[in-house]
Amino acid sequence: MRGVRFPLPAPFMTYIFFIQGEGRGHLTQALTLKEKLETRGHKVAAVVVSTKEGGQLPYFFQEQINAPLFSIISPSFAIDRQGQGIDILATISLTLKNLVQYRRSYQMIKKIINDYQPDALVSFYEPLSGIYHRLTKDPRPLYCLGHQYFVDHPDFNFPDGHILSRLAFRMYNRLGTSPRGTRIALSFTAANDQPDKKLLICPPLIRQAIKDRRPTVNNFILIYILNAGYSEKISAWSQKHPGVKIEAFWGQADKATINKDLCFNPLSGDRFIELLASCRAYASTGGFDSIAEAAYLQKPILMNPTKNHFEQKCNAVDAIRAGLATVTENFDLSALDNEQTKTHSPEALHRFKEWVDNNDDKLVELLTEKY
């Protein structure tokens, strides 16, 4: 009919994901965001994951990502001899040693972007994608996602001391991972956007498989550790507290049954979700994403930040601010039930779930330029 205009459908967009592959948090973020984008008709054309030299991607990610997958070597932390914390000097040495490899990875990023011609780039705290965007002045938008960017929000409080670590963390955020991109901070709590800082606030990315679970309470504690060296501390606690059932996940390829109460399992997406939904409490190092998933399922949470890992110290302080977790050292699981020292509360967990459920579409709207 003449004179009648119908609205055009929103254009579908294509993306390339760049993922810092240490741990599991950024990987599950990417799986969740990919699902959200694709249910709205958009496409993730390729996925680039940075790992340590010789590092292997978890099987659950390779199985579920369902997109052309590329692996690169990118700057990462070196672990100390005890397999628990970060060795700062070894990290510097590793970075210098691998400069030639990083250059190869950078050239590979350029080729992948040229081959797939995406509409936008999404970085899950991957540094070489940020460096690419700065050096090439690529006109396509770069969206940089991570809880790490919340440190620039007025609501955030740093751990006491650590002046040099604060400075280095902020410099790495701005100069390394997001030199020209829009920063999207994933936050435990609702907070105002900071457009003057190119800083936008969204709730954590919670997988649909987590949202679909109806939580129950069974008599065991679930643990996830980034570095296998912490298994010794957990084993020592278990020996002193017989009868407390513990199911744990670690980055090792094999399963290890320590005693009748404690078992360490290799990473498994489905198995982890099943146990997270049914545990009575959750304990982990200081990663952001599994803490958010446990909070969504309304679980009491214990955090034990990885030694010398300033980012995880920041996560722990922020979880205390939000009332979501109790923080301890040496994986003292007794703190979960200590009324005098615990800093998590059912009210805060309820507020967190409301924040996620009521703002679940904001991130996709930002990435599709509709927000």
| Helix (H) / strand (E) containing 164 | helix 163-171
The top-scoring range by mean pLDDT among 79-88, 110-119, 281-290 is 110-119
pLDDT for residue 73: 84
pTM score of the predicted model:
0.86
Question: Could you give the 3-state DSSP secondary structure of residue 183?
Answer: strand
CA–chain centroid gap for 173, Å, is 15
* Gap between the Cα atoms of 92 and 22, Å rounded: 17
Residue 371 has pLDDT above 80, yes or no: no
pLDDT digits (tens, 9 = 90+) for 193-219: 999 888 999 999 999 999 999 999 999
Q: How far apart are CA 24 and CA 71, in angstroms?
A: 15
Is residue 4 a part of any domain in this protein? no
Q: 328 in a domain, yes or no?
A: yes
DSSP-assigned beta bridge partners for residue 112:
none
284 and 174 belong to one structural domain: no
What is the token pair recorded at 322?
């939000």
**Which CATH number fits the domain that encloses residue 162?**
3.40.50.2000
Spatial CA neighbour of 288 closest among 22, 94, 50, 65: 22
Q: Does the structure show a pLDDT above 70 at 158?
A: yes
- Whether 33 maps to a domain, the answer reads yes
C-alpha distances (whole Å) from 66 to each of 37, 46, 107, 125, 305 are 14, 9, 24, 21, 32
> Residue 247 in 3-state DSSP?
strand
Asked if pLDDT for residue 5 goes beyond 70, the answer is: no
For residues 177-187, give the mean pLDDT.
87
Same domain, 59 and 154: yes
Regarding whether 166 and 121 lie in a shared domain, the answer is yes
Same domain, 155 and 27: yes
| Mean pLDDT score of the chain | 86
176 or 257: whose pLDDT is higher? Answer: 257
Question: What is the average pLDDT across 14-33?
Answer: 90
Q: What is the pLDDT of residues 96-142, one digit of tens each?
A: 666 678 789 999 999 999 999 999 999 999 989 988 998 999 999 99
Which of 312 and 10 is assigned the larger pLDDT? 312
**What's the pLDDT score for residue 7?**
42
Separation CA 342–CA 293 (nearest Å) = 19
Structural domain contains residue 7? no
Flag whether pLDDT at 80 surpasses 70: no
Q: What is the pLDDT of residue 27?
A: 92
Q: What angle do CA 154, 149, 362 make, to 5 degrees?
A: 90
* Model confidence at 231: pLDDT above 90: no
As a whole number, mean pLDDT of residues 80-103 equals: 61
Higher pLDDT, 157 or 370: 157
Three-class DSSP category at 57: coil
Q: State residue 77's pLDDT score.
A: 58
Shared domain for 192 and 66, answered yes or no, is yes
Answer yes or no: is 52 within a domain.
yes
Q: What pLDDT does 181 receive?
A: 78
Which position has the higher pLDDT, 96 or 80? 96
Q: Are residues 29 and 165 in the same domain?
A: yes
Report if residue 8 sits inside a domain: no
Among 178-187, 285-294, 310-319, the least confident range: 178-187
For residue 295, being part of any structural domain is answered with: yes
Number of domains in the chain: 2
Helix, strand or coil, per DSSP, at residue 246:
strand
Can you give the pLDDT at residue 123?
A: 95
Cα separation of 290 and 333, whole Å? 17
Please tell me whether residues 51 and 139 are part of one structural domain: yes
CA distance 319 to 301: 10
**177 plus 326 within the same structural domain:** no
CB-based burial, 152-161: b 16+ in 10 Å, e otherwise: bbeebebeee
Sequence letter at residue 292: A
**Mean pLDDT, residues 228-238:** 86
- 70 plus 176 within the same structural domain: yes
- What's the pLDDT score for residue 154? 94
pLDDT at res. 269: 73
Do 88 and 34 lie in a common domain? Answer: yes
Q: What is the pLDDT of residue 55?
A: 66
Give the per-residue pLDDT at 327: 92
Gap between the Cα atoms of 74 and 87, Å rounded: 17
Q: Which of 13-22, 222-231, 302-311 is least confident?
A: 222-231
| Greatest pairwise CA separation for the chain in angstroms | 81
pLDDT at residue number 227: 73
Q: Is the pLDDT of residue 79 over 70?
A: no
pLDDT at 82: 53
Q: What is the pLDDT of residue 97?
A: 64
Whether 2 is in a domain gets the answer no
3-state secondary structure 88-131: HHHHHHHHHHCHHHHHHHHHHHHHHHHHHCCCEEEEECCHHHHH
Length of the chain: 371
Band of residue 364 on the pLDDT scale cut at 50, 70, 90: very high
Q: Is 305 found in the same domain as 328?
A: yes
Exposed, middle or buried: residue 179 (CB in 10 Å: 0-12, 13-18, 19+)?
middle
Q: Which percentage of the chain shows pLDDT scores above 90?
A: 56
Q: Which two tokens stand for residue 122?
A: 């999404």
**Range of 218's domain?**
209-357
In angstroms, the CA 49 to CA 180 distance is 20
Q: Say if residue 202 is in the same domain as residue 92.
A: yes
Q: How far is CA 200 from the centre of its chain?
A: 17
Cα–Cα distance measured from residue 144 to residue 134, given in angstroms and rounded to the nearest whole number? 13
Q: Determine what percent of the chain is predicted with pLDDT higher than 70.
A: 88
Q: Does 3 score more than 50 pLDDT?
A: no
